[in-house]
Amino acid sequence: MNAKAIECLLVTANCGSVFEDPSRLLENWIAEFLSHVKKSKPKFIGLHLQEVGGKTYEKSMEYVEQFIKIMCESNELSEFAKIRIYLDEDYNSAEHFTALGNLYFVHNSINCLKIWNFSNHEFEDVEGKTIQTGNIESVATKEKAKFPQQFFPECKWSRKGFLRTRWNIDGSTIDLINIHLFHDASNLAACEPFPSVYCKSRRRALIHTLERIHNDQENGLVPFFIFGDFNFRCDTEGVVRKLTTHLTEQRIPHLKTDHSKVQFRGADGSIQLTVGKKEFTHIDHKIFKEDWLKKFDRELEPLEDILYEFPISFSPTYPFEENPQLPNHYMTTRCPSWCDRILMTKSMKRLIENEEYTEYGIIGKDICMGDHKPVYLKLYLKTNQGKINNCDHVQSTKEGCKQNLNSKINACETCSKHMNKVFCEYSMKPLPLSSSKINLSKNNHMPLVSISVVDADTLNTCMCKKISDFENRTRKYINNTVNEKVCSTCGLIIKKQPMLVSKQVMLGDVIVNRIDSQFLSSTYSSSPSQIRKLNDPYTPESIESHSPQPEMEEENFINNTIEEDDSIICDVIKHKTDHICGDNILEDVDNSLQNFHNLNHSVSASQLQTRLEILRRESQLECSSKNSGSGLSDLNNKSSLNSKCLCCSCAIL
């Protein structure tokens, strides 16, 4: 071991839950961290915190102050006289607040210590203790940014961003970057094929950060560590598929689609796995500590040429129970994942002395540290390396030690081209939640939808509109210019319908209404050998209710589902008309309709019989009412009804 190498301890910790329950967790957290410092005996400590103060910072400010005071005055850190602390506490500023905290403690044995000034682009000496809190936007020795609002899933602005500092430690220059990326809001949405919409959002924000640092002309580029709560999640769809082999899937619907669940049962009927929006319950949660889960940790794959991480030998760092009595147990809210990571540029490896002495693990394995276990990296940093070229293929030379520390030229053309290629490949992709046009060359068939029958809430609805004028009506729907109220052919009311329902669909002279469409329109693949459900985690398979008020819940559930389906079909129409042109539109529509008629539909006899009986009673009552009303003569003049009720075939006199 080189006697001049400096022992460094880098730690990342999401401490939000600790500040939300300080009476039970804060003291133990501090004690365990200081115990690890005492055992490691580092000379430079970099502690990156996320969610400082918890969800409501204003209620936890006193505990944050107490936390800083205990840390600075502890015996374990008594020989660390050079301290720099940055706490973003301006919680009233929605456009700036990140709740990030960077804490640095430097041992007295390090004589040459400098920190970069991002305003005048020069290093300045570090002496004594400086704590920057509150609004730190004007502090020059850090760079802080919140991610653009369009990067946030569903554009719901939260406290996500990065906080960077630059150090020269005994002649070697490095950047230390604290980062907090987006979480998974719903396990159901995360079950889509990898990469999920949340994974794409995280990747986009991370690439945005790397690109910003790489293209920083004013401050130049140096090797860096980037460590924080990346919120990297395992490939949830792959994990579920692995865990549910030979199991039977059952959907549990709810009034609110967000509360729907999917259960997987064994041959004996026992529940093995339950997946809900915020539920991920397995019969044996210890299984997630086994090595098989690592192959589903895939979010870093696209950036492996840029970022490096030492091999992971510890269990997933999230989500642990917040109960001091259960320090090793995972909560049943999310699929356990390695959210907290310490990454570096590949050039950073050239500054590390003897990698075999490097330690990468977690703090508080047997102590409750909140829902996140802190992750640490212990390494030995080479000294007097100067501001080395940030390219892993360029060998370090003695000239690097003599290089001006304030130089901004620090990247070769080869690496710059490679980085820009990677950034362009991913950053130019559309936002995960933005609308994108459907490519008909890859998808010649209309997507499966869950409405394939007409809405006939009243018998006064026009049923004679033909497919032939589909193109004109579609354009009207898109431009919101539908002004036609009465059909010129039959004189009945024209109701605004989605694409497929404009063609008359009858079932034994009985018009099927919306409720029946829930049973009749099951979305299966057209291939009998590959019958499968459409992968829609938010749509239950049936409207069977398990609540104390099933009838009311059923009605609300049906109405909500119909609204969602209508919007889906309208979107399909919009995308199709963006691409379909000229005489091909009728052919495409006919082909799409034919594909729908070929679908396999099934409905139980009891369900259909019940609905038909209800329709017949309602029709009889309506007929009686109309016979005694003043509108009788108008009804008799409408040829589309053929003087008979279509539901019960009773004559209209």
Instruction: Give domain limits for the chain.
Output: 6-232+297-427, 236-287, 467-641
- Give me the residues paired with residue 175 across strands: 166, 224
Distance from C-alpha of 317 to C-alpha of 124, rounded to nearest angstrom: 37
Q: What is the pLDDT of residue 618?
A: 74
Nearest CA-CA partner of 152 in 95, 201, 195, 188: 201
């403690």: which residue's tokens? 105
The residue among 40, 6, 222 whose CA lies nearest residue 111 is 6
* More confident site: 514 or 267: 267
* Residue 566: predicted pLDDT: 43
- pLDDT of 320 > 90? The answer is yes
Q: Contact 225/47 with Cβ under 8 angstroms?
A: no
Please name every residue paired with 174 in a beta bridge, in sequence order, or none if there are none.
167
What was the pLDDT predicted at 102? 98
Mean pLDDT of 370-382: 97
Average pLDDT rounded to a whole number, residues 259-275: 90
pLDDT over threshold 50, residue 377:
yes
Query: CA-CA distance, 209 to 426, in Å (whole number)?
Result: 13
Q: What is the pLDDT of residue 301?
A: 92
Average pLDDT for 287-306: 93
Instruction: Note the pLDDT of residue 422.
Output: 62
The tokens describing 630, both together, are 């003043």
Number of separate helices (H) and strands (E) present in the chain:
14, 21
Q: What is the pLDDT of residues 420-473, one digit of tens each?
A: 666 666 555 544 443 333 343 444 444 433 333 333 344 444 545 433 444 454
Q: What is the pLDDT of residue 553?
A: 41
Identify each DSSP E strand in 53-100 by its residue range: 82-87
Predicted pLDDT of residue 576: 42
pLDDT top residue among 510 and 152: 152
**Per-residue confidence (pLDDT) for residue 286, from 0 to 100:** 87
Using H for helix, E for strand and C for coil, what is the string for 588-626?
HHHHHHHHHHCCCCCCCHHHHHHHHHHHHHHHHHHHHHH
pLDDT band of 390, cuts 50, 70, 90: low
Q: In this structure, are residues 110 and 80 in contact, taking their beta carbons and an 8 Å threshold?
A: no
User: Model-level pTM?
Assistant: 0.65
- 197-214 helix and 413-427 helix, angle to the nearest 10 degrees: 150
Sequence-ordered list of residues with C-beta below 8 angstroms from that of 156, at least 6 positions apart, any chain: none
pLDDT band at 2 (very low <50, low <70, confident <90, very high): low
pLDDT in tens, 405-423: 555 545 454 555 566 666 6
The four Cα atoms 224, 200, 56, 368 give a dihedral, to 10 degrees, of: -70
What does the alpha-carbon distance between residue 490 and residue 471 come to, in Å, rounded to a whole number?
Answer: 21
The pLDDT of residue 490 is above 90 = no
Burial, 50: exposed, middle or buried (Cβ in 10 Å; 0-12, 13-18, 19+)? buried
| Among 181, 15, 38, CA closest to 105 | 38
More confident residue, 624 or 636: 624
pLDDT given at position 78: 96
User: Distance (Å, rounded) from C-alpha 63 to C-alpha 270?
Assistant: 45
Quick one: tokens of 81? 């006289």
Helix (H, G, I), strand (E, B) or coil at 87: strand
Average pLDDT over residues 369-384: 97
The confidence score (pLDDT) of residue 589 equals 44
- In this prediction, residue 93 carries a pLDDT of 87
- Average of per-residue pLDDT values in the chain: 74
18-22, 135-139, 268-272, 600-604: which range is least confident on average?
A: 600-604
Q: Is the pLDDT of residue 119 over 90?
A: yes
In this predicted structure, what is the pLDDT of residue 86? 98
What is the arithmetic mean of pLDDT over 158-164? 92
CATH number of 6-232+297-427: 3.60.10.10
**Cα 255 from Cα 45, distance rounded (Å):** 51
